[in-house]
Structure formats: C-alpha cells, structure tokens
A and B are shown apart, each in its own frame.
Chain A
Amino acid sequence: MSPILITFYFLAAITLATAFLTIYSKNPIHSAIYLVLCFFSIAGHYLLFNAQFLAIVHIIVYSGAIMVLFLFTIMLMNLNKENEVHKPRITRLGAIVVFILMSIVLVTIFINSKTIMGEYDTSGEDFQSIKTLGKILLNEYMVPFEFASILLLAAMIGVVLLSKKEKTEKK
C-alpha cells in the first residue's frame, strides 16, 4: 500500500461518508456542512491528480460560492428545524431498491467495459498546469469561454428577477 493509495482510500471514504450524511441528516444545516466537507474531499482528489487549477476553482466555486448560497437560502427560509415529514415507507424502500439497482447496473457495465481500456501511459508533457490550461481556454475554447460568461450574466439577471418580490399581486 503506497501512501498515495492510502490517501486515496482516506479521501474516498470521506467523500462517500459525507455525501451519504448530506442526504441522511435531518437538519438541512447539517446537510449543508456535510456537503462542504464532501466538496473539500473532492478537491483533495483533484489535488491528488495534480490538477491544481481545478482544485482551486472547485473550492472557490463550490465550497465558497455555492455553499454560501445554500446556507443563505436555508437561513432565509428558516429551515434549520428538523420538521421534514418523511416520505411514505414504500417510497423510501423504492428509493433504496433503485439505488442498489443503479449501482449494480453502472458497476457491471464499467466492469465489463474494462477490456477496452489500455495501459496507463505517461506522455511526460505538461497538460494540466494552470499555464497550459489557460492557454487552451483562451485559444481553442475562446468562444465557449465567452459564452460561459454570458450564461453567468443571464443567470444573474434571472435570479434578480426571480427573487424580486412581486408587487403586482398586492395591487
């Protein structure tokens, strides 16, 4: 067992556990906190791959921006009570069955597809440093990159419109 493998198992365990707890916690606040942990562990995986740029972006976007949004929303709705009514038993049972089914299907498929994969090779080239990625993003993916900004702008405007209190109803 190399240290890297141990790190992987450790991170994987955290990822799965926190993900599961996110879903399982009754208190939305707890869920959110577990989710943050989950995201951090995923960022760890990225670091393990030496994908520094993504790791940092991930932390900024998910753990930073998105989680803050979640938390704000939860606070805004005052949902920190454990008052959620559970779904009917049959639905929960169904959910578990579907979960297992999905896992089996996907795992079986990946196991069976393994033969197609080749050896792990090392090109030796630098393909994922921030510098390289930056070049790729602003050359080949220039247009999609700009579109992404437009998308974000549109989302922003949409959100403002959506969350504005409707005055027409009162009139």
Chain B
Amino acid sequence: MDVTTILLLLLIGSIATFFAGDKLASKVALIFSLGALGLSLYLLNLLNQGANISYIGEWMSSPKVSLAFKADGLSMAMVLLTTALTPLIVFSSFGNSFNNSKNFYALVLFMSFAMVGTFLAVDGLLYYIFWELALIPIYFIALIWGNGDAEDRKKAVVKFFIYTLGGSLFMLIAFAYLYSKAGSFLIGDLYQLELTGTEEFWIFLAFFLAYAIKIPIIPFHTWQAKVYQKAPTVGTMLLSGIMLKMGLYSVIRWQLPIAPSAAKAYMPILIGLSIAGVIYGSIVALRQKDLKKLLAYSSLAHVGLIAAGCYTLTLDGLSGVVSQMIAHGFVIVGLFFAAEVIFRRYETRTIADLGGIRSQTPQFTSMFMILVLASVALPGTFNFVGEFTVLYSLSQVNIWYAVLGGTTIILGAYYMLKMFQNVMLGETNTKVFAEVTTNEAITFVAIIAFLLFFGLYPKPIVDLVTPSLNEILAVINK
C-alpha cells in the first residue's frame, strides 16, 4: 500500500465520472473523492505507524527520470488538504447544474489528481509535469463553465494560463540546469548539490518567478482577481483553496532547500515583498465592488503573510505556514461558497446590490459570520493558530516585520466586517432570501467544525509536519 493508490483512485475516478453520464457524474465524483479522502486518512495512519508508503519506480533512463512519490508529514498534510477539500467542493456544487456535467466533474477530479501528484512527487521532472498538468483542467473549468461575458472571461483565463505557464518555464530551465549538474532529478540528489553563489541566485530566481506567479506575490498577482471573479465558484475554490498552496508548498519543498544561501541573502527583500502584498491586498480589498473580487484580494493578503512565513526559514515560520495554508484553504472555500449561496438566490455578487439578508436567514448569517471571523483570525479558530505562529516567527526575525505583517489583523477586520455589514446587515432586503438548504448547511458545518476543532487542538497537524520540516531545515542550514 503506497501513496500511488490515491493518485490512481483519483485518476480512475476522473475517468469513471466521465463515463458515468451527466446525471450521475456529480455523485460518482463525490464517491471517488470521498474514497480518496478515506484512503489518504488510512495512509496517514500507516505513516504514523512508521510504515513506508513511498513509491519509487523507474520511468525514463535518459534523461534519468523516476516515478518517485515520497510521503512525509508535509506532503501528507497537503494531500489531506486536497483530498478533504475536493469532496467538499464537489458537494458544494450540488446546488448548481452544469452543462456537460460529466466533463466538469471529471476535470475537477483530474485536477485533484494532478495536485496530489504535485504534492507527492519528489522527482523534479515528474513534479514539473504534475505542476503543469494541474493547470489544464482549471483552464477549461474557468473557460467553459465560468460566468460573465465570454470574451472578457476568455481574456482573463488565457492571461492566467499563459502567465503561470510562462513563470513555470523558468522553473523548467532551473531543473534542466540542476539536472546537468546532478545527473538526476531526484530531490535528494538536488539537495546535495554544491552550487556557487551565482548559480544559486539564478536558480532561486527561476523558482521564485514560477512560485511568485502561482502564489501570487505582488506584483505578480494581476491574473488573480479577474480569474477568481470569472471562474465558476468550484473553480475559484480549487484555485484559492488548493492550487495556490502548490506554490507555497513548493517554496518549502523545492526552492528553499535547493538554494538556501540565496534565500538567506535575499530574506529581507522576500519578506518585504510578501508583507507589501499583505498590506496592498488588504487595501485594495477595501473598495472592491464585487464580492468574489474582494475575497480574491483578501486571499492575496493572507497568502502574502504565509509567504512571508516561508521565507523566515525558521521552524515556527514553516509550521505556521502549513497550519495557515490548511486553515486558509478551508476558510476561503467556505467564504467563496457563501458568495455562491448568495448568488444562487440573488443572482448578483455586487456588494452594493446586497444587504438586509441577516433578518431573513439567521442560520446562514451565523455560519457566514463565523467564516468571516475565522478569516480575520479570531483566537479559537485554526487561522489564529497559523497567523499567530507566522507572526511570531516574523517577530523573531525582526519585530517590525511582525508589526507590518500584523496590520493584516486590523485591515483584515476592516474590509471583512465592512463587507459583512454591506452584504448581510441593514434593513430587510425586499427580495426573499431562502434559508440555506441541508446540503449547503452540511458544507458550512463541515468547514466550521474543522476550523474550530483544530483551532483549539492544532497539535495533530503540527506534530505531523514538524519532523519533515525539521529535515528540510536541516538541509537549508547545512
């Protein structure tokens, strides 16, 4: 039993969904994604018992590429994030009807497959293939099932596709160079490379371009808001909940250990840029008129803080980053789902057209409120654990980083509460807002329960990732 079974299950699920036909597609997708969740939990259990669930096989001899999937705590945490969010995302879309839903759900599962592959692969080229593979389904999801004017959408999505693809090419170049030095793509061999300062700088820069665009760190974020707005909510959830974590995960797994001295040398710039993203994203979010765009910029701000945590190169920073990644993944999916719930009833996402919903739907209000509060990192939610640890690690590097990064708790509260006030509160809206359905409520409750539970007891996740982060830090500090 090794981790490839998850990959296989998702791939088979994707194919099965495609052949299940339009009527059954969503249910088949849900079953397979739940299966993947169960399987990854089982594998996690095996890992905790000390079993070897990695898989290394031959693939190509020249260039020497192997099918290497390694599962340590960090990878498993990210895989679990993916496999836990996928059924949620699939389930959350039960209230929508899509044309050609078999293609749609097959693409969703396929994307999940590619993302899990990215998190597991430890062979550079294999990782790169999965990394790019994940881009293809989201391109079609956003392009075909998106909303708004088709021309506008096409422009935004194509820009996103080419932009991220262009960034990744630099990463490919870096891998090619590393291969020429090491004669192998395996991560262990790449870790052991002795690179000169100049080489490290260029490799770091190449990785940085790929990841900064994917994460996104300002000023590489321009694709984000439009795509989030135009993509269908499922696509937005996949993008913001999981896909941008691919970038952050890769920073930890690939960029920092391969080019550690560059990371150390440019730490102030990197942290500065990330924190600038925090403040910039928060400020831009203040005056957004579209609910999804506002959430997109809030995501930009939060991810900026996470990236800053990555570049502190401390154990606290990295473990905080993992917690915050998972927490943010859940909360942003929840928030986008709330936007979707509103859209299903009011057919609009313009904040100015909303308001006065609270009096009609107490349940939805409470759940939305909790998600908003989690997003502003109220103590007791998992986000607080992550944000606290990240800010703490920043303060260890330099107290001013923590002060500047900490503005997120002020500005974040400002724009989120302003949004909540304009969307939910005020005189009762003239349009009827139906209370959430059971399906919708289940999605919300699952997310909220997760956030609150780990907010009070984050130990399992921290314990899971700490050993692997220590290994990576050992490589960084060697």
Touch between A and B in complex, CB under 8 Å? no
User: Which residues of A are in contact with B by a Cβ distance under 8 Å?
Assistant: none
- Interface residues of chain B, those whose CB is within 8 Å of chain A, are none
